[in-house]
Amino acid sequence: MVPVIWIRFFVHTLIVLMVVVPFFQHLESESEASSAIPTGFRPHLLLTRALPEPAMDQIVKLDRLVVARYTVRPYEDIYTLCQRTGLKQYAYTIRSSNDLDETPAAGTVLKIPNRIGTLFDVKTPQTLRELISGFEAGRQGGPSYEQDVLHLNDYPVLDFGGPRPQVKAGTTLFLPNAYKPTGLAFPFKDMRFRVTSGFNPKRRHPVLGVRRAHQGMDLARPYGDPVYPSRSGTVTFAGWQGGYGNMIEIRHVMRNGRVRYTRYGHLASILVHPGQHVGAGKLIGRVGSTGISTGPHLHFEVRDENGVARNPRRSL
């Protein structure tokens, strides 16, 4: 028999260890946090294990920034990934955070932050203000945006009176509500639309009743809703074009230097002219039902440098 006194000693030791050790660990992380200059993305912010499938929509509910890893499945594009995992608003976040111009290959490991915005790798040392001024959200948000970035990334709030510390090269920051120009975006400010018809080389045409390739995606939205460019570019066509009705075509140069054209058909009105350079936030037209169309929707099309239609989902 073990004497009672020894059992008590053992239990007390255990309690002391349970209380004191975490306390010292706490002190350690506190002293780490008090260093004045951001030194790099904190590894403890990362959820490094792949999450089981149902958890993808749970990470958005966490009250702090985490970055999940996700392995792309065969035949999966960013749009279907977002639909299936319940991250419907995250298409731009995922594309921008991973510098994706096109659908990644199956097996690619994506970083998915649980906030809307982008991960950003700092290439050259610069102050946080310089860094965020490269983004519309940063320019509009000013000093409070700077504070948000520091808080979200778990950096101590800096003394703004003193000399401005620089963010080191190699640091990864999360920038809320900001995006890098990557890939092509759905031509609306939000995701409130229905895809009524996808890219289909062998579709039976709903009006003409014959087999005719559907070269784009039909996005149903109310009549008159604003349409924006999929990415900044130059207008190459704006006017009436047969079955397209009122149509705009825009030429884009992607990150890798490739050229893509986007087309916006059945517009109620056109607000740009050929040769005009349009930024991603420029209102170019309004949803309509002109040309061969059964109701208000946008026919959205993506073509390569040779004018061959591609499935828009490969770039969205």
Question: How far is residue 59's CA from residue 93's CA, in Å, rounded to a whole number?
Answer: 14
Segment lying near Zn ion (by CB under 5 A), choices 29-37, 57-65, 179-187, 292-300: 292-300
DSSP 236-302: EEEEE-GGG-EEEEEEEE-TTS-EEEEEEEEESEE---TT-EE-TT---EE-B--SS-SSSEEEEEE
180 part of the interface to Zn ion, by CB under 5 A: no
Indicate the residue among 179 and 244 with the shorter CB distance to Zn ion. Answer: 244
- The 103-142 contact track toward Zn ion, x by CB under 5 A, reads ----------------------------------------
**SS3 per-residue string spanning 144-205:** HHHHHHHHHCCCCCCCCCCCCCEECCCCEEEEECCCCCCCCCCCCCCCCCEEEECCECCCEC
Shortest Å distance, C-beta 303 to Zn ion: 14
Interaction residues for Zn ion, span 236-255 (CB under 5 A): none
303 part of the interface to Zn ion, by CB under 5 A: no
Residue of minimal Cβ distance to Zn ion: 299
Using CA atoms, how far residue 158 sits from 33, 34, 36, 154, in Å, is 11, 10, 7, 12
Q: Which residues partner with 41 through β-bridges?
A: none
Shortest Å distance, C-beta 130 to Zn ion: 44
What is the helix (H) or strand (E) element at residue 141, kind and residue range? helix 136-152
Shortest Å distance, C-beta 96 to Zn ion: 27
Segment lying near Zn ion (by CB under 5 A), choices 91-99, 221-229, 272-280, 295-303: 295-303
The neighbour count for residue 170, using CB atoms within 10 Å, is 12
Question: How far is residue 93's CA from residue 163's CA, in Å, rounded to a whole number?
Answer: 32
Shortest Å distance, C-beta 151 to Zn ion: 44
Q: Which residues partner with 216 through β-bridges?
A: 301
Burial of 250 by CB count in 10 Å (0-12 exposed, 13-18 middle, 19+ buried)?
A: buried
Shortest Å distance, C-beta 302 to Zn ion: 12
Candidates 306, 301, 282; CA nearest to 232 is: 282
Segment lying near Zn ion (by CB under 5 A), choices 74-82, 181-189, 254-262, 296-304: 296-304
CA 238 to chain CA centroid, Å, is 29
Structure tokens of 163? 């000399």
Shortest Å distance, C-beta 193 to Zn ion: 13
231 part of the interface to Zn ion, by CB under 5 A: no
Segment lying near Zn ion (by CB under 5 A), choices 1-9, 96-104, 153-161, 212-220: 212-220
Shortest Å distance, C-beta 310 to Zn ion: 15
Segment lying near Zn ion (by CB under 5 A), choices 76-84, 102-110, 231-239, 291-299: 291-299
Rule CB under 5 A: choose which of 183, 299, 315, 316 binds Zn ion. Answer: 299
102 part of the interface to Zn ion, by CB under 5 A: no
Indicate the residue among 141 and 312 with the shorter CB distance to Zn ion. Answer: 312
Which residue shows structure tokens 């090269």? 169
Shortest Å distance, C-beta 307 to Zn ion: 17
Rule CB under 5 A: choose which of 218, 228, 284, 286 binds Zn ion. Answer: 218
Angle at 188 between CA 103 and CA 68, to 5 degrees: 45
Segment lying near Zn ion (by CB under 5 A), choices 17-25, 140-148, 158-166, 215-223: 215-223
Find the length of the chain. 316
Shortest Å distance, C-beta 298 to Zn ion: 8
Question: How far is residue 213's CA from residue 207's CA, in Å, rounded to a whole number?
Answer: 13
Residues forming contacts to Zn ion in the complex (CB under 5 A) are 218, 299
